[in-house]
Each structure stands twice: as C-alpha cells, then as structure tokens.
Amino acid sequence: MRYDFDKIISREGTCCEKYDRRKEIFGREDVIPLWIADMDFEVPAFIREAVMRRAEHPVYGYGFRDEGYQQAIVEWVARRNHWTIQPEWLDFTPGVVAGFSFGIRALSAPGDKVVIQPPVYPPFARMILNNGRTLVNNPLRMDERGHFVVDFEDLDRKLEGAKILLFCNPHNPTGRVFTREELMRIGELCIRHDVCILSDEIHSDLIQKPYHHLHIASLSPELAERTITLIAPSKTFNIAGLSTSVAIVPGKEVRERFRAEMDKLHVDQGNIFGKVALETAYRYGDEWLEQMLDYVGENMDYVVRFLDEKLPSVKSYKSEGTYLMWLDFSSWGMTCEELMRFLVNEAHLGFNEGRLFGEEGKCHMRMNVAAPRSVIRESLERLAAAASRLNL
Ligand SMILES: Cc1ncc(COP(=O)(O)O)c(C=O)c1O
C-alpha cells in the first residue's frame, strides 16, 4: 500500500505547539512553521485505530506495560539496528528529555561536569544547567568536505574529570549519523576517562540511505555497561503527544542508579494510549517508516536542489539522519536578530533559530522538512522571493 504524505492536514485549533503558538513564538500567525520537530504527516491508520480501540473501553484507569510491550521494543531494536537487548534492561520515561535529565541526576552530583557537542538540541545545555551541573562544550567542527565531525583532541581534554557525555546520535541539528569508527573513538575516550554516556538516540529510526544507525552501547560490553540509550517512537511515528519513551540500560549498577532516581519522582506510570501506540508502531510500522523516509529524503533533495539553483547564498546539504536540515545563512552578513526578523517578517517563515543550539549555530536556521512537498515548495519560494527583494 502507498501512504499519502502529500496530504495537507489542518492542525490549527488542536492546541498544537507548531501552529497554535505561532503568534507567541514568532509574533505573527502567517509564518509557515518549519520549526519544532514533529511532522505534518498523519499518524498511520493502524496506530490510530489501535489507540481508538483502547479509547472505546469506558475506563481509563491505571495501566502497566506488559511483556508484549517489552517484546515489541526488543524486536524493533533487533530488527532495525541489530542490537540484542533484554527486556529487563528497559525502563519507561515520559520523554527523552526527561530520560536524560533523570540520567544526569542519577550519574552525577551537583557541580559535576557534563560534556555536550554543540551546536546541539537546546535542552541538552538547559537540563545540565537546570540540574546544577557544569556545562562543558566540545563543539563539532566542519571538515574540508563540509561535514560536521567530532573534534577528538578537544573531546579528550574535555572528558578529563567529567562524569557524563550527553551524546546525540543522529545529531540534531546537523543531521550527522556517526560512523562505527567515530563511535568507537568516542567510546574509547569515555572508557579511558571513566565517563558514562547518556545517548539520546531519539532520531535513530530516521536514517537516510545509505547510512545506518549504530547504538553506541551495542559496540562492546564495556560501552553497554556505562551507557543509557534513549529511544522513542515519538519522532518516528509522529506520536510525541503521547509522552512515551524508552531507556535501555544494560549495566546493572547504572540501572540501579537510574531506577533510584526515577523512583524519587514516581513518573513511570505513563499513559495507556502511549503504551498501545508504541507497541503497535514497533510491531507494524516498518513499511510506513520506509515510505516516510523516502518522502523526507526527496524533500531534502528538493531543498538542496532549489537552493543550489535559485538561492546559492544559502548553503544546505542533505542530512544523513533526522528530518531536520541545517541551513547556513552566514553569507547574508546579517546579525542573528536581523536574520530572524527578515525570515519572519519578509519571508513569513518560522525556522528554529540556530544560535539557540549554541554559539556555533549563529546565522544558521534549522528547517523541519517532515511536511508535504507543496509546503516545502511554498516555503522555498517565499524565501527566494524575499531574498531577491534584497538582492541576496
Ligand atoms: C535530540 C532530541 N532529543 C529529545 C527530543 C525531545 O524528546 P521528548 O519530547 O521525548 O522529550 C528532541 C525533539 O526534538 C530531540 O531532537
């Protein structure tokens, strides 16, 4: 069966952050929202039907996650990314950010150093600081081919005396999917410095051909011991509103510390619809996901081609993973404020502002391309038309 990703779905009036908060976020309603990382595609019918079947039962009392739920996760991880995990390694978290925040609390003490690799998803820095830990930056650098890569010498220095590497793979916003060699080197450094890894792999299902995702914890028993891997069906199947994510914690000591932290907050109840949605998605979602990834890949190709041909002053490249693109506007010579004002008020586009991902993101914008092609086309046309008025 062919799924229809061209279909326009009105999300306005659903208390949806992406559309219904445009005035608050951008100061006007008429921007095309290309920001927050959820998709404008409908959740596949087999997931909606499973949730509706559960919703038809007249009682929504306390539930629990049974063996079938755990098995669906175990099989998904084995099938998609060839990692054999055990049901007893699994923990529920109400979100991936919540998961790494629990991890920070479990594996470090106030004041301890936690390393991140900016430009990176803004809650990384925020959660470290909110939990009273010390933020240490190991910025990614651009290599000669224009790829973002890890600065290993700097990482070696920065991990000295640190407790945690808060790692993002695939990397948001740069779209990198780290290779086995890169992951091995990162892992070796973490082992050498006795640093635990909180690995945010929420985008691990969103991989473009010919890349493959590798869970860093799957690379060796030593890495498994010191890593908390966070995954979720939320980005993959557009069900972030169901607040259901998974922590995979193979190491006994790390698991005990993680659970002790979770127990302080009593947040593992979750919700009955998230349980049903996750299980259904992981059991039956492969074909839908493949088609969605092809569609998003074509959107990325479209963006790159359009900008190369019509607006080469904006640099873009196809992401290896995620449905996010990292656009470089630095040749326009505007300050961050001028650029944002121009994009909102002249092009009527609502991107995520790059500098919020760290200093390194200055003059960049993150563009979410998980939308119907017609929306992407209209966005680029608005951008090109506004730029041409300024001869950019
Ligand atoms: C890298 C990364 N981690 C976590 C999240 C959010 O996860 P959650 O909504 O499950 O907290 C996002 C959402 O954009 C993300 O890109």
- To test the pocket of ligand 1, the residue of 96, 171, 271 to mutate (highest count of ligand atoms within 8 Å of its CB) is 96
Residues contacting residue 23 through CB under 8 Å, at least 6 positions apart: 29
Going from the Cα of 96 to the center of ligand 1, the distance in angstroms, rounded, reads: 6
Ligand 1 centre and the CA of 258: distance in Å? 19
Angle formed by the axes of helices 180-192 and 152-159, nearest 10°: 30
Instruction: Provide the b/e sequence for 57-96 (b: ≥16 CB within 10 Å).
Output: eeeeeebebeeebbebbbebbeebbebebeeebbbbbbbb
Evaluate whether 202 touches 169 at the Cβ level (below 8 Å).
Answer: no
Query: Ligand 1: distance of its center to the CA of 211 in Å?
Result: 21
Give, for ligand 1, the residue of 35, 39, 121, 237 to mutate: max count of ligand atoms closer than 8 Å to Cβ. Answer: 121
Instruction: State the Cα–Cα distance between residues 79 and 282, nearest whole angstrom.
Output: 10
- Please check whether residue 38 is in contact with residue 9, taking contact to mean a CB–CB distance below 8 angstroms: no
Mutation choice for ligand 1 from 104, 117, 172, CB with most ligand atoms inside 8 A:
172
CB-ligand 1 contact for 121 (6 Å cutoff) = yes
Q: Is 97 in the pocket of ligand 1 (CB under 6 A)?
A: yes
Q: List the domain boundaries for the chain.
A: 17-44+286-389, 62-284
Q: Decide if domain 62-284 falls under CATH 3.90.420.10.
A: no
Work out the angle at residue 128's Cα, subtended by the Cα atoms of residues 341 and 23, and round it to the nearest 5 degrees.
25
Of 16, 97, 205, the residue with max ligand 1 atoms within 8 A of its CB, to mutate for a pocket test, comes to 97
Note the pLDDT tens digit of each residue in 226-261.
999 999 999 999 999 999 999 999 999 999 999 999
Does the beta carbon of 95 lie inside 6 Å of ligand 1? yes
Q: Are 215 and 200 in contact (CB under 8 A)?
A: no
Q: What is the Å distance from ligand 1's center to 323 Cα? A: 13
Binding site membership of 96 for ligand 1 (Cβ less than 6 Å): yes
What is the Å distance from ligand 1's center to 121 Cα?
8
SS3 of the chain: the string is CCCCCCCCCCCCCCCCHHHHCHHHHHCCCCCEECCCCCCCCCCCHHHHHHHHHHHHCCCCCCCCCCHHHHHHHHHHHHHHHCCCCCHHHEEEECCHHHHHHHHHHHHCCCCCEEEECCCCCCHHHHHHHHCCCEEEECCCEECCCCCEECCHHHHHHHHCCEEEEEEECCCCCCCCCCCHHHHHHHHHHHHHCCCEEEEECCCCCCECCCCCCCCHHHCCHHHHHCEEEEECCHHHHCCHHHCCEEEECCCHHHHHHHHHHHHHHCCCCCCHHHHHHHHHHHHHCHHHHHHHHHHHHHHHHHHHHHHHHHCCCCECCCCCECCEEEEECHHHCCCHHHHHHHHHHCCCEECEEHHHHCHHHCCEEEEECCCCHHHHHHHHHHHHHHHHHCCC
The CA distance from 217 to 167, in Å, is 12
Ligand 1 atom at minimum distance from 98 CA: 11
Does residue 37 have its Cβ closer than 6 Å to ligand 1? yes
State if residue 172 touches ligand 1 by the CB under 6 angstroms criterion. Answer: yes
Query: Could you tell me the end-to-end alpha-carbon distance of the chain, in angstroms, rounded to an integer?
Result: 44
Instruction: Quickly count: other Cβ atoms within 10 Å of residue 338's Cβ.
Output: 12
**Residue whose CA is at the smallest distance from ligand 1 atom 10:** 95
Q: Hey, which of 16, 91, 202 would you mutate to test ligand 1's pocket, going by the most ligand atoms within 8 Å of its Cβ?
A: 202
Q: Residue 391: its pLDDT value, please?
A: 85
Q: How far is CA 295 from the centre of its chain?
A: 18
pLDDT for residue 238: 98
| Cα 94 from Cα 244, distance rounded (Å) | 5
- Indicate whether residue 363 lines ligand 1 (CB < 6 A): no
pLDDT under 70 in the chain at which residues? Answer: none
Quickly tell me which residue has 């019509």 as its tokens: 310
Question: Which residues, 6+ apart, have CB-to-CB distance to 229 below 8 Å?
Answer: 199, 201, 215, 216, 217, 247, 248, 249
- pLDDT confidence of residue 144: 85
Which CATH code fits 17-44+286-389? 3.90.1150.10
Nearest atom in ligand 1 to 99's CA: 11
Give the integer Cα–Cα distance in Å for 193 and 191.
5
How confident is the model at residue 347, as a pLDDT? 98
